[in-house]
Each structure stands twice: as structure tokens, then as C-alpha cells.
Amino acid sequence: MKNLLFISYFFSPLGGPGVQRSVKFCKYLPEYGWNTIVLTVKDISYIAYDDTLKSDVSSLKIHRTGSCDIMRMLHKIEKYKFSGSDQSIYTKTPSQKKQFFRNIFPIDSKIGWIPFAIHEGKKICRTHSIDAIYCSIGPFSSAVVGYKLSNIFHIPLILDYRDLFRGKPDESYFSSWHERFAYKWEKKVLDRASAVIINTYRAKKRIKTLFPDIEKQKFSVIYNGYDEEDYKNSILNQSQDIVFTYTGGFYGERTPKYFLQALAELENTRQLPDNVKFQFVGNLSEHINRLFLNTEILKHIILTPQVSHMKSIRCLLESTYLMLFIAKRDSEIVVPAKLFEYLAARKPILAMIPKHGEAAHIIEKYSAGLMCEPDDVQKIKDNIIEMIKYKQLGIIKDIFPIMENDYSHFERRNLTKNLVDVLNQFI
């Protein structure tokens, strides 16, 4: 067995798609001869926790360190001062304030974790024969930790961009100095890296444009995927309701505003049958929650707070259709992890996404649903009416071959094999 030092700030027992990518890689790496030693942070204040992912990594050796970053500090404050509160400070903080605090730090707001992680990483590298160092990004602070350890111990460095650092759709900097500092560090880390993995092809193209001097052969793409084992027990929907489900949150410019406007217009013209429901599963910010509460179609809305990954999958399997939202501006590179979960659930998708984006390309390739631009209210209405009609006529399977398509190349086990192919090039 070869040893991989797996650096990931966000890790189980936290939840969410970024955590799932790391956890599932760790779950399947031993099948391909790689033993993973995880370096992560201790408990932090966060929006999602998921105990169901623990079983995937129960056999791993996980090193958890302290940190002076905001999320770790908030956890300590809540633990000792607000233990009776049912909602964390992090959850209650408006997204604009979160973005401000993210931006005021050089590199990112997790910079306070770097000295703790390097200290623990040195001990790991001295006591284990580490063959490669893997860094899950973001935060980019993880990459700085990996860079330092790679330099000290002369170990190959592998970067995995779950999200771009520079070039992401909501990119912003506190000052020009912050921007120059970020560019300098990203260039330095990319130069040091033996391989750079990106989670979409459009994102790969963008990072290569931003850093044209980096060797092009370093870059490869490994999508987020789905774990076939999570879908073993398929569920037959016996309900008479027509249920559209969305899992996840809304952040940045991703919004349900135009969708809710479309529903209100359908309801006002009596085109929305009583048995049609729209379910939103996940924690919503106060701003987004107000959008729902101010609508006239609450009888059609089901708001379900954050659930575990396995319960989320059950919600998908019990639904008639699934919904996908992506922000309109500068989001062609975005392919949400939930899209692959949707494909695995084999339910047609009502997609409100940029029509020239990579996610739209995937949906079109597999005829997996109906699409329109996120702010095209009339087309959203038309697509909802069409999908309701398909269900009423019993012809969903005739319209959407999503039920019959082969998605095995998106399975987590197979995607982990792709990661192993990258790792083995340097060992």
C-alpha cells in the first residue's frame, strides 16, 4: 500500500458536496492500493453536518488540528457561551457579511489554520512514508499547507480544485494588494504541483488561461460523481402528487426569485393543479427564506431543513422531477455536484441554468430534462406545464431517456480510479 497525505479542511462529520467528494475518494482509494492519512481541522461552526458519511471513512486515520480561523473560533464561542442556541452564529450571519470577512484576509479566511496544519503535517511526514500529498481546494489555505510540506520533504504535490481560487464566478478581493498576493501564491503552488485536477472542463480552460505559463499536461478533469452504493435501494413513488425537488442552498447570485415569479403567475391563471408540489431540501438563508414567505403559492411549497446525504437521496428517489438552479452571470464553468446525484436518481430535471454552460451540455447530451435561462420566467412556466402534462399522460419515460442511460463513468469508484491514474504517474 502506498501512503497519501490527504489535506482537506472540510471533512466528515461536516456535510455538503465538497465534503462528499473528499470522503468518497478516501472510501475507494484503498481498493486501488492507496492508504489515506487525513489532515483536517477540529470542529468548526458550519451550515451542514452529516453523520451518515462517517461510515465511509471509519477505518481511516484522521488527524484533526486546532486553528485560529473564524469558523473554528465561532465554534469555540458557541460551545461555551451559546450552547442553548438552536442556530449557529455562522448560519444566522447574512451572506454579504460572510463574504466581507472572507475577503479581508490574505489568501482566504482559513489562513489561521495554516501553521497548525503544517505543524501536524510535519509530524505525519516524519512518522509515515508519504508517497504523495493531495490538497482539496477550497479553501486555498489547504494548498499552501501542501506546498510547504511538499517543499520540506520533497514529496509530489497533487491539487484538486473543487472550486477555482482565481477565476471563480463570485471572485472578489478586498484590495489590489490582496489580489496580487493571491495571484503570487497560486502561481507558486501551481508551479510546485506535479498534477492539478479540476472538477469541470470549462474551469480547466479558465485556469489555464489565467496561468498560461503552467505546463498544460499538469491539468486533468475529474467530475464530481455519485456513489452507486447510495442508490442500492430504489424507491417507487406511489404518491398521487407531482413533486419537483431541489436539494441544496442558494448563494451568490443563484436565486429562486424568477422561478417563484413563474409559479405565482401560473397559480394566478389557475394553471397549477393542487397536487403539484415544489420541495426545497436544505438550509436557506434569511434573505432567501423571505422570498418564499412573501409568495402567493405557499400551498405548493415544501421547505425541508438540511438532511443527511442518505435522506437527501431518498428525497430524490421519492420525487417525480428534480430542479436545478445556476446563477446566470459568468457561471458557464459551474457543474453542481447535485447534477450527478440527479442523474443517478434517474429523474428528469427542470433546469434553470445558463444554456451555453457545461451543466447544460451534460443535460442535453443525456436528454435529462427541460432547460431555460435562470431569469426566463415565461420559459420556466412553459417547462413546468410541459412536465406536468407528461406525468398526467404517463409518458415521462417516452420523453426522457434519463431512465435508460449509462452513467457508470460518473460513479465515485470509477472516478477514484481516475485519481489513482494521476497519482501513479509520480510514484
Sequence spans of domains, the chain: 2-225+411-424, 229-403
pLDDT at 361: 96
CATH architecture of residue range(s) 229-403: 3-Layer(aba) Sandwich (3.40)
Residue appearing with cell numbers 472538477: 199
The Cα–Cα gap between 102 and 104 comes to: 6
Q: What are phi and psi of 398, to 5 degrees?
A: -75, -30
pLDDT at 95: 64
The Cα–Cα gap between 87 and 110 comes to: 22
Query: What are the grid coordinates assigned to 214, written together?
Result: 503552467
The Cα–Cα gap between 105 and 195 comes to: 27
pLDDT at 38: 97
The Cα–Cα gap between 268 and 262 comes to: 10
Assess contact for 247 and 311: CB atoms under 8 A. no
The Cα–Cα gap between 66 and 84 comes to: 24
pLDDT at 388: 96
pLDDT at 311: 92
pLDDT at 96: 66
| DSSP 8-state symbol, 2 | E
How is 256-285 classified by DSSP, letter by letter?
Answer: SHHHHHHHHHHHHTT-S-TTEEEEEES---
The Cα–Cα gap between 226 and 308 comes to: 15
pLDDT at 86: 53
Which of 37, 31, 45, 30 is CA-nearest to residue 8? 37
Domain 2-225+411-424 has CATH 3.40.50.970: no
Assess contact for 168 and 140: CB atoms under 8 A. no
Whether the upstream peptide bond of residue 336 has omega within 30° of 0, thus cis, is no
Domains 2-225+411-424 and 229-403 belong to one CATH topology: yes
Q: What are phi and psi of 299, to 5 degrees?
A: -65, -15
Whether the upstream peptide bond of residue 225 has omega within 30° of 0, thus cis, is no
Assess contact for 60 and 39: CB atoms under 8 A. no
Assess contact for 273 and 242: CB atoms under 8 A. yes
Query: What are the grid coordinates assigned to 201, written together?
Result: 472542463
Assess contact for 140 and 14: CB atoms under 8 A. no
| pLDDT under 50: residue ranges of the chain | none
